[in-house]
Amino acid sequence: MRYIIRHTTVYHYTTPANYTIQTLRLTPRADAHQRIIRWRLHTPGGLQPSIDAYGNQTHTLTINQPHAAIELRVDGLIEMSPLTEGRIIEESGLPVQAFQVATSLTQADSRVRAFFARVLPNGIRAPEDALALAHHICDAVSYEPGTTDVTTAAGEVLELGHGVCQDHAHLFLACVRGMGLPARYVSGYLYTTAEHAASHAWVDVWLKDHGWISIDVTNRQYASEQHCRLAVARDYDSASPVRGVRTGGGHESMAVHVHVQQQ
């Protein structure tokens, strides 16, 4: 299956910023089931490409002159192959144990531990158990934009009972790592008729005898050929499509538009 992807992020500042440096994770990963046919990044400054510790393609954007806005545009064509029960094939990468490490966003506090002990008392032994955890998370945390932000940790999400795809992913990671299993955050794109979900987040969990199993927690399903992977990491902070700092600029506003269509 081939998909045309267009992604635009625009930042506006109330006063000119003097300096900006951003890390862009806006190029799909070179995973076995996805192939880039063409891919272009349009930015207001030069880009320095690199591969980060997680194997993600990144670009560093630096702007050294006054600017009142930044527009980042991506357009490309990608070919996706089907996945069997979400199985991801990788030839190399970090040791899986690197993804057992909890972060501030994915800490398994007492609320999280009580939750997974109740809904999965026997833990996760097979892909269907991981999928069952996704169902339980969505039952406990309804999808509702605007109730959380990128700093909301897994335990808070569970207590609030509302969140978005990144919150579902963080809660899943907290549960799975709390059980002693490796799991990672995935950022990317989803081909869907629901426009709000085109920019998406999901998870991978490592299971003995199965390898990496990719699960779309929010949609209660295994990831498929409709999921285009941009980056993997321990949580949102290290996998977000755009992350950076600036000096000056006053108040910032941001607008994001993502469109994924089948070719």
User: Does 58 share its domain with 171?
Assistant: no
pLDDT of residue 93: 77
pLDDT, tens only, 88-104: 987 667 899 999 999 99
User: Does 144 share its domain with 19?
Assistant: no
pLDDT, tens only, 160-191: 999 999 999 999 999 999 999 999 999 999 99
Q: What is the Cα–Cα distance from 130 to 233, expressed in whole angstroms? A: 19
User: Does 228 share its domain with 108?
Assistant: yes
Give strand ranges (E) for the chain: 2-24, 34-42, 47-51, 57-63, 67-80, 87-88, 142-143, 162-163, 183-190, 199-207, 211-216, 221-222, 227-233, 242-248, 252-262
Please state the pTM of the whole predicted model: 0.95
Report the CATH number at residue 202. Answer: 3.10.620.30
Average pLDDT of 214-235? 96
Statement: residue 194 has pLDDT above 70: no
User: Does 68 share its domain with 99?
Assistant: no
User: Does 41 share its domain with 133?
Assistant: no
User: Does 137 share its domain with 187?
Assistant: yes
User: Does 257 share its domain with 215?
Assistant: no
pLDDT of residue 195: 52
What confidence tier does 45 reach under pLDDT thresholds 50, 70, 90? confident
Statement: residue 193 has pLDDT above 80: no
Which residue range is the domain that position 37 belongs to? 2-80+242-262
